[in-house]
Chain A
Amino acid sequence: MNIFDNMTPEFQWWTMLTLVVLGTYFWRGLGVLLAGHVSQDSEVFKWLSAVTYALVGALTFKLILLPIGQLTQVPITYRILVSVICLVYVVKFKAGLSRGLILGCILMAGYGLYLSYG
C-alpha cells in the first residue's frame, strides 16, 4: 500500500516537497562531511557528473522542445531558432552568459509583441 493513499492532495504535495528538499540537501551535507577526504578524480564522481549533465540536458531540451503553459504559443521552429542564435552568440562571439540571456529575452519579447499587435 502506498503511504500517499491516505493523504489529502495538499498534504501529499508538502510531503513530496519535504522529500525533494532532503534529497537536495543530502548532497550538500555529504560534501561538508567528506570535504578534504575524497578525491574528485574518482570514477564515481565521473559517473555522477555524467548522469547529472544528461539529466539537466534532457530537462533543457524538454523545456525548449515540449514546453507547457504560455510557451506553447511560440512555434517550435522559433524556439529552436532563438536557442541556436543565443548559443552561437555566446560561443562564437564570446559574449558572456548575461548578454546571451538578454538577447534571448529580447527575441522572445519580440515574438510576444508580434502575437499581441502583429
Chain B
Amino acid sequence: MGIRCLGHYNRAMDRILHELNSADTFSKGMKLGVKAGIYGPGPVLLAGMIGFGAMGHGIGLSWLQTTSISFLMYALPGQIVFIEMMSMGASSSVITIAVALTSTRFLTMVLTLFPQIPKAHKEPSRLLSVHLVAMSSWAFCMRDFPKMKPEVRYGYFLGIGLICWVLAVPGTILGYIVYEYVPIWIVLPLVFVNPLFFLLSFADVVVPLNRIAIVVGGLSGAFFYSYFPENALLMSGLGCGTLAYLYDYFKRKKSST
C-alpha cells in the first residue's frame, strides 16, 4: 500500500515536471504550482499545522487564537517560539525579538528566490505575495525554477504558496479539534511531528558554521531552559549563534593568512 502510494506520488511529480517544460503562461504555471503543492510540500506542511493546532490546544489557547497565528504568521518555527515563550511568561520585547530572529531566514530565502522571477508589467504585488514564502514552497521553487521558462515562474510560486497557505488553516483547526477528542496514541505523534520535522530538516544543512550553530544552540538551549526559562531561546540564539559565527570567522581568517 505504502509503496503503491509512493509510486503514484513519483509518477504525479514526474508528470508535473514534464508539463512545466512546455508551460508558457502565468496561469498554466499557477495551475501546475497548485498541483505540485498538493503532491509535494502540502502534506508535510499540513502535518506540521495539525501538530501546531494540537500544541495550541495543549497550551490553552482558543481555536481562533491558534488559527490566527497560522494564518497571519505562516512560519512554523516562529509560531512555536511565540506560543512556547508566551506560556513561559516571557516579556513582550523578548518574545518579539526571538520571533523576529527566528524569521531572519526569510530574508535569505526571498533574496535567492525573487531575483529569478522576471518583473512583468502587470503582476500581483510582490510585497503581498511574499507572505507565501515558506521553507517548503521555497525549496520546491528553487529546485524547479531552472526547469521552466522565466515567465512561468511567478505563477508557479503563487500556485504552490497559495495552496500551502490555504491548507495551513484547516490543518490547524483539525489539529485543535483532534487534540481533545482522540485517544493519546493519535495525539502523541501530532505533538511530536514539529520538533521531529525541525530535527530531520537539520540533516540537509551543509554549511559547517550552521551545523555548529545548531549543536551549540541546541545543547545550550536545554541548559538555559533549566535556569532562565523566559529568555533561554534568545540567549541560545543570539549568544551561541554569535559565538559560532565568531569561531567560524576567526577560523576562516586564520586559514586565509
Contact = CB atoms under 8 A, between A and B. Distances in A.
Nearest to A33: B127
Nearest to B215: A57
B37 to A, nearest CB: 15
B145 interface: no
**Binding site secondary structure of chain A:** helix
B200 interface: yes
Given A87-B203, A101-B200, A54 B240 contact: yes
Interface in A12-64: 12-13, 15-17, 19-21, 23-32, 34-36, 38, 40, 43, 45-64
26 contacts: A20-B95, A24-B100, A29-B127, A31-B110, A32-B130, A35-B111, A45-B108, A46-B248, A49-B207, A50-B212, A50-B213, A50-B248, A53-B205, A55-B81, A59-B84, A59-B233, A60-B202, A62-B84, A66-B225, A67-B195, A74-B188, A82-B192, A97-B200, A98-B44, A112-B184, A116-B184
Given A98-B43, A110-B185, 4 more contacts: A19-B92, A54-B240, A70-B58, A101-B44
Interface of A: 4, 12-13, 15-17, 19-21, 23-32, 34-36, 38, 40, 43, 45-71, 73-74, 79, 82-83, 86-87, 90-91, 97-98, 100-101, 104-106, 108-113, 115-116
